[in-house]
Structure 1
Amino acid sequence: MQQTGPTALVVIDMINTYEHEDAELLLPSVREALPGIRRLISRARDAEADVIYVNDNFGRWRSHHDEILGIALDGPHADLVEPVKPDADSMFVVKARHSIFFQTPLEYLLDRRHIAHLVLCGQVTEQCVLYSALDAHIRRLPTIVATDAVAHIHRDLADAALRMMECNMGTRLCRADEVRLGAESGAPLSRP
């Protein structure tokens, strides 16, 4: 994977019905992270940066992105999905496990788009975001996690996960408004 090139925003698991175990613990954090996620998506779109949604398929093996989105928008927490839904230019990768890379075509997509840096936002900090940051690190792909644009189930585990990403994986942590996207997105990935 090359080190110079554009940055892509990866939105993790935000197309969600929140009808799963631990959802009640997750929902308050999603509401708190939503403004940061919305700002990142809006800025990425304005900068014509790639916005890639990588989302769980919830065991629906015959589904596609429109169906996954439709089910979430018809669900009890559509208010959390509507503001961050993919637009016509967004890319969508379906995953079945925690990491955005595990047995998905994401790495190939990033290579074809010449993406050299990632910004991660979405959920869950101590699960999918953590494992995705680790897999990006293994691939030598510089990564930022926007700390105010990720949601958690357990605050203490999320704080530990963020520390691990920063200390052990070289992930840069910053606020959503500090992330550089589009033409300004070359290294360094966050403003000094």
Structure 2
Amino acid sequence: MADGPREDGLTPLGAAPATAWRVDATRADLVRPAIQPRPATLPAGAKAITVDLARTAMIVVDMQNDFCHPDGWLASIGVDVTPARAPIAPLATLLPVLRAAKVPVIYVSWGNRPDRLNLSPALLHVYNPTGTEVGLGDALPANGAKVLEFGSWAAAVVDELRPQPGDVEVAKYRMSGFPDTPLDSILRTLGVTTLLFGGVNADQCVLATLMDANFRGYDTILLEDCSGTTSPDFCLQATVYNVRQCFGFIANSADLIAAIG
């Protein structure tokens, strides 16, 4: 519920002012309120782009202990998580600026069911190809936390980027954050049209979510310094190329901070 009754006696009805109705016992006003644009212009390669901060949200993908912490899942199977930790510092600088500018921060992270009924054998096979390895939902050898299971330490966002009051958290079960999740409904309720992206892995879950957003008609901007991957360098290069060529824009968080001013 939004604010209380206005002078005309109508009460806002809805979780977000941008898309709320106003109602009373005999009337329903479906006219959404005008949203004052808050433009911010920043460089994005060969073009300058102007975004409306009033209709923009930040999507932080998979900055979780299992991917980024030295005691997490990837590190436990011998992956160097240094590249996955690279986005932590720029995100830690950017997110408070976005919150102060009233840009929603949305964490989209793996959060599987304990019974794994939402995971197909094909998906389980990706992470446990022999059936005997530590895969989704299995216990980490070091601390027993369940890999990417909702509510576990393993699935939690790293301490440096811990969600703050007012942030939105969405659990996902695929590389993309859209299938089987409320992400699209949340964004439409917020009145968002432009999405900023950061997180890991840039060439997998970040890209899949960004592409699905693009297919649904959202403007998409990949913040390159806020994204990382433990894949080979050419994967990140291909991701940046494909986003710029087909799916949106490439920008930098420092330029965005300067544009917000």
Q: Which of the five TM-score ranges fits, normalised by the shorter chain?
A: 0.7 to 0.9
Unaligned runs of 5+ in 1: 75-79, 186-190
**In the alignment, does 2:132 pair up with 1:92?**
no
- Cα offset, 1:69, TM superposition: 6.2
Tell me the residue number matched to 1:188.
none
In structure 2, distance between residues paired with 1:115 and 1:41: 17
- Cα offset, 1:142, TM superposition: 0.4
Going by fraction, where is helix more abundant, 1 or 2? Answer: 1
**In the alignment, does 2:213 pair up with 1:136?**
yes
TM-score, normalised by the number of residues in structure 1: 0.78
Please, what is the CA RMSD of the aligned residues?
Answer: 2.8
> Is the CA contact 2:106–2:169 (under 8 Å) kept in the aligned structure 1?
yes
**In the alignment, does 2:120 pair up with 1:71?**
no
**In the alignment, does 2:83 pair up with 1:29?**
yes
> Is the CA contact 2:110–2:171 (under 8 Å) kept in the aligned structure 1?
yes
Tell me the residue number matched to 2:104.
50
Secondary structure at the aligned position of 1:17 is classed as: helix
Alignment: residue pair count: 172
Between 1:20-29 and 1:37-46, the stretch displaced more is 20-29
Unaligned runs of 5+ in 2: 1-50, 117-148
Tell me the residue number matched to 1:152.
229
In structure 2, distance between residues paired with 1:26 and 1:159: 19
In structure 1, distance between residues paired with 2:159 and 2:198: 16
**1:39/1:162 Cα in 2 relative to 1: closer, same or farther (>3 Å)?**
same
- Cα offset, 1:179, TM superposition: 2.4
**1:55/1:113 Cα in 2 relative to 1: closer, same or farther (>3 Å)?**
same
**In the alignment, does 2:206 pair up with 1:124?**
no
Between 1:46-55 and 1:19-28, the stretch displaced more is 19-28
**In the alignment, does 2:73 pair up with 1:20?**
yes
TM-score, normalised by the number of residues in structure 2: 0.59
Cα deviation, 1:71-118, whole Å, max 9, x if unaligned, reads 1499xxxxx811101011111110000011122111100000101100
**1:167/1:57 Cα in 2 relative to 1: closer, same or farther (>3 Å)?**
same
Structure exhibiting the larger radius of gyration computed from Cα positions: 2
In structure 2, distance between residues paired with 1:69 and 1:43: 28
**1:72/1:45 Cα in 2 relative to 1: closer, same or farther (>3 Å)?**
farther
Tell me the residue number matched to 2:29.
none
Secondary structure at the aligned position of 2:207 is classed as: helix
